[in-house]
Amino acid sequence: GDQVEQSPSALSLHEGTGSALRCNFTTTMRAVQWFRKNSRGSLINLFYLASGTKENGRLKSAFDSKERYSTLHIRDAQLEDSGTYFCAASSGSFNKLTFGAGTRLAVCP
């Protein structure tokens, strides 16, 4: 079935630095979403992409359906960015969103 491989599983950043999270897909996906888990465990939408790139503040995401990957870039990381980030993608399988395993981000002073 469709699989989403998310990396890294954990990431530690100093304030002010940046890095990228990545999701590789085993099949061609139609769209990707990036979420951040809030303090209650629910998922907050960060980005939805059917193609190309989107930017919102210090976050930027890209999706290449043909090359089967998506990235989430964080720049100038702040303490409040700490948390768990998930990518999820929808494929030709109608009505199914497949999740990556998540990346636990810790931003340190």
Partner 1 sequence: AQTIHQWPVAEIKAVGSPLSLGCTIKGKSSPNLYWYWQATGGTLQQLFYSITVGQVESVVQLNLSASRPKDDQFILSTEKLLLSHSGFYLCAWSLTGRSSDYTFGSGTRLLVI
**Residues interacting with partner 1, by CB under 8 A?**
30-31, 33, 35, 40-43, 45, 48, 50, 86, 88, 90, 94-102
Q: Which helix (H) or strand (E) holds 5?
A: strand 4-7
- Please answer whether residues 18 and 28 qualify as being in contact, where contact means their C-beta atoms are separated by less than 8 angstroms: no
Smallest gap, in angstroms, from Cβ of residue 90 to partner 1? 7
Query: What is the spatial distance between Cα 103 and Cα 7, in angstroms, rounded to a whole number?
Result: 7
Are 6 and 87 contacting, i.e. CB atoms less than 8 angstroms apart?
A: yes
Please report how close the Cβ of residue 48 comes to partner 1 at its closest, in angstroms: 4
Q: Which residues pair with 105 in a beta bridge?
A: 11, 83
Nearer to partner 1, 68 or 75 (CB): 68
Judged by beta carbon, residue 65 or residue 105, the one nearer partner 1 is 65
- State the minimum distance, in angstroms, from the CB of residue 15 to partner 1: 28
